[in-house]
Structure 1
Amino acid sequence: MFRRIFSFLLLIWLLGFVWFAAFLPRPADATQTDGIVVLTGAGGRIERGLQALGEGWSGRMLVSGVDPEVKPAELAAEYDIPMDRMECCITLGYDAVDTRSNASETAAWVAEGKMASIRLVTSDWHMRRAAFELGTQIDPDTKIVRDAVKSEPSLAMLFLEYHKFLFGWLARWIGF
């Protein structure tokens, strides 16, 4: 009996990993949202957020998880952002250090801005966990448009992220 249960759980885990790795989230379309949230950490994320802002898909953007040493003028110079756009439309979030604190920082920004919808921009391999964490901290009526940045993660990266996703889900399920 124990072997059957163990084999069944192993099969579920394996099929879950295959699904997780083979069907990564994709970029979103031009859906309008009240805000754009970019989680720092990998290439292409800030660029995608700026594209969404530039296309007019939203008028405001939060960059969550910015290193405290990065100043707005430095970010503007790095990504060729006019300072008037930085001042009106882009908020730099310095409080987040991981995905869970990205979600907290974002939830506060969304609540303060009274937003009904946001575009979440992060890497394709990170999107499921980021959206899950964010979904646990914002109003359940807030629409999250998942805008994944295409990448080429290694098998090791996918394996690690899959387990972080599972443990995050399990932790929330048991109330931790």
Structure 2
Amino acid sequence: MVRRILSLIVLVWALGFAVFVVGLPGPAAPQETDGIIVLTGGENRIDRGIALLEAGQAGRMLVSGVNRTVRPVELAEQTGAPERLFDCCIDLGQEAVDTRSNGQEAARWVRENRFTSVRLVTTDWHMPRARFELVRELDDGVSLLADAVPSDPSFMQLFLEYNKYLLRRVSAIVGL
């Protein structure tokens, strides 16, 4: 009996992992939102956000999880974006240290700006957990558009992220 239960758990986990990998999201279609939230930590995330901002897909952008020592002018130089964008339209969130605090920081920014629609930009393999964290923190009535940056993750990266996602879902159920 114990063997069957363990086999069932492993089977459900393996099927869930397959669904997770096959169901990785892609870039969103053009759609205007009030704001763009970019989570640091992966290639092309900030570039994607800046391109969307320059294309008029939103009027303001938050880059969440920026190192506290980074100044806007340095990020402008690193990304090749015009400094004027950082002066008018890009906020640097420097409080978040992980995906959970990214969600808290971003939701606070959404409330402060009274946005009702936002676009979340992060890497495809990171999107399920990032979206989960942000949805938990956003006020009712705020719509979220997931806009994943395509990547080429390794098996180990997918394996670790899937397990982090499962653990976070379970911890949220028990109130952590």
Q: Which stretch of structure 1 is more off in the superposition, 17-26 or 60-69?
A: 17-26
* 1:29 is the counterpart of 2:53: no
1:139 aligns with 2:128: no
Letter in 2 for 1:39: L
Q: Name the SS for the 1:125 alignment partner.
A: helix
Q: Show the 5 A alignment for 1:140-159.
A: 140-159=140-159
Cross-structure match for 2:82: 82
CA distance in 1, matches of 2:30, 2:104: 26
TM-score (norm 1): 0.97
Amino acid corresponding to residue 119 of structure 2 in structure 1: R
Q: Shift of the alpha carbon at 1:17? A: 0.5
Q: Which residue of structure 1 lines up, in the alignment, with residue 104 of structure 2?
A: 104
Letter in 1 for 2:98: D
Match of 2:57 in 1: 57
Count of residue pairs brought into register by the alignment: 176
Unmatched 5+ residue regions in structure 1? Answer: none
Which residue does the alignment assign to 2:92? 92
Aligned to 1:120: 120
What does the per-residue CA deviation read over 1:13-67, in whole Å, with 9 as the maximum and x for residues that have no partner?
A: 0000011112211100111111000000011000100111011110100000001
In structure 2, how many angstroms separate the alpha carbons of the residues matched to 1:2 and 1:141? 45
State the shift of 1:8 in Å: 1.6
- What is the SS of the residue equivalent to 1:136? helix
Gaps of 5+ in 2: none
SS at match of 1:10: helix
Listed one character per residue, the Cα deviations across residues 86-109 of structure 1 (whole Å, up to 9, x for unaligned) are 111000010011000101110100
Mapped partners of 1:65, 1:95: distance in 2: 6
